[in-house]
Structure 1
Amino acid sequence: MNINIRQETEKDYKLSETVVEKAFKNEEHSDHKEQFLVARLRRSDLFIPELSLVAETSKEIIGHIMLTKLFIENERNRYESLALAPVSVLPEYQNRGIGSKLINKSIKIAKELGYKSVIVLGHDKYYPRFGFKPASSWGIKAPFDIPDEVFMALELEDKSLNGITGTVAYSKEFFE
């Protein structure tokens, strides 16, 4: 199967949201509203068009990923990072490496754009294969109570999270 990963365009938005909705439809740890989160994030000042990607085969969109800006804050400083949320693949195409292709491509682009780190709340057996480690390793905390192993960070540049501690401040779009 030939998979093309490309930047999402405005005309893809409705199709992408449908992919996100279908991808999370049977997910146990989901509020089943991820497609609305994607739409809200696109309208926010956190949206980075170059980091909103789709996977397609035969011109059909079968996957989507979005990285948006977020901040890690402490009493003295505010550090910019990226949130990986969500990554979605249509159920009939899952477990074929498409999600991995989307993640790898988005990480590559984020590095090229000069971003230093990515934060994800996700499956602790999946994301470490991309280099994600518990965010607590750097003294970075989630703004809510969750198991340590599912809240992870990835350095996009060697030692880019050294000395950065604080709590991740997700935008209001994540809570609406």
Structure 2
Amino acid sequence: MLIRTEAPADILPIDSLLKAVFDTEAEAKLVMKLRENGNRTLSLVACSDEGEVVGHLLFSPVTVDGQDANWQGLAPLAVKPEYQRQGVGLALMEEAKSILAELGYPVTVVLGHSDYYPKVGFVKASEHGLRCSWPVPDEAFMVLELIPGSLAETVGLVEYCSEFSDM
């Protein structure tokens, strides 16, 4: 399996993947809007040995109490059903963590499954005085420090890009 940055030729395969994995087309539309509006910080794909896009994740900017702290939000993360539970998503996350830290992005947040994301180091955001702008279960909104010391003294309301409000 190869993990690499999204290329223009991946746009349609990513769109098809998102439409196949999620119940609605909301995530596919979100990714297109983020891409079109320049709010895609990092987009990675996982490719099979045959070159087929079998996984994808995307990060976009988030703010904390209206301030840009250079933090990133993960959404979405998708893996083709026949490749799930084989480590594809975790491999994408590990690669993303390394790239984001190298590029100087100190923290990422995710709204997701509380059994899955802790496997790559996410913890409840509330433990760090952070809350989501949407009414979500406490255990579903998580944070991951990519650069040590970056979470110290940063508390408040985390808001995603405006494209998320259109979902």
Q: Shorter-normalised TM-score: what interval?
A: over 0.9
Partner of 1:4 in structure 2?
2
Deviation digits for residues 6-52 of structure 1 (CA, Å, limit 9, x no counterpart): 11111210111111111223xxxxx541111111111123222xx20
**8 Å contact kept, 1:140–1:166:** yes
- Tell me the secondary structure at the aligned position of residue 11 of structure 1: helix
**8 Å contact kept, 1:73–1:79:** no
Alignment pair present for 1:106 and 2:104:
no
Quote the Cα distance in structure 2 between the aligned partners of 1:152 and 1:23. 22
- Tell me the secondary structure at the aligned position of residue 150 of structure 2: coil
- Tell me the secondary structure at the aligned position of residue 38 of structure 2: coil
**8 Å contact kept, 1:46–1:70:** no
Partner of 2:60 in structure 1?
68
**8 Å contact kept, 2:3–2:44:** yes
Count of aligned pairs: 165
Unaligned runs of 5+ in 2: none
TM-score (ref. length: structure 2): 0.94
Partner of 2:125 in structure 1?
135
Q: 1:79 aligns with which of 69, 72, 89?
A: 69
Q: 1:37 aligns with which of 30, 55, 61?
A: 30
Quote the Cα distance in structure 2 between the aligned partners of 1:44 and 1:32. 18
Quote the Cα distance in structure 1 between the aligned partners of 2:39 and 2:63. 10
Quote the Cα distance in structure 2 between the aligned partners of 1:73 and 1:161. 14
Partner of 2:45 in structure 1?
54
- Tell me the secondary structure at the aligned position of residue 135 of structure 2: coil
Partner of 1:28 in structure 2?
none
Partner of 1:17 in structure 2?
15
Partner of 1:157 in structure 2?
147
How far residue 145 of structure 1 moved from its aligned partner, in angstroms, is: 1.1
- Provide the aligned C-alpha RMSD in A: 1.3
**Percentage of identical aligned residues:** 37
Runs (4 or more) in structure 1 with deviation over 2 Å come to 77-80
Q: Which moved more, 1:39-48 or 1:120-129?
A: 39-48
How far residue 78 of structure 1 moved from its aligned partner, in angstroms, is: 4.3
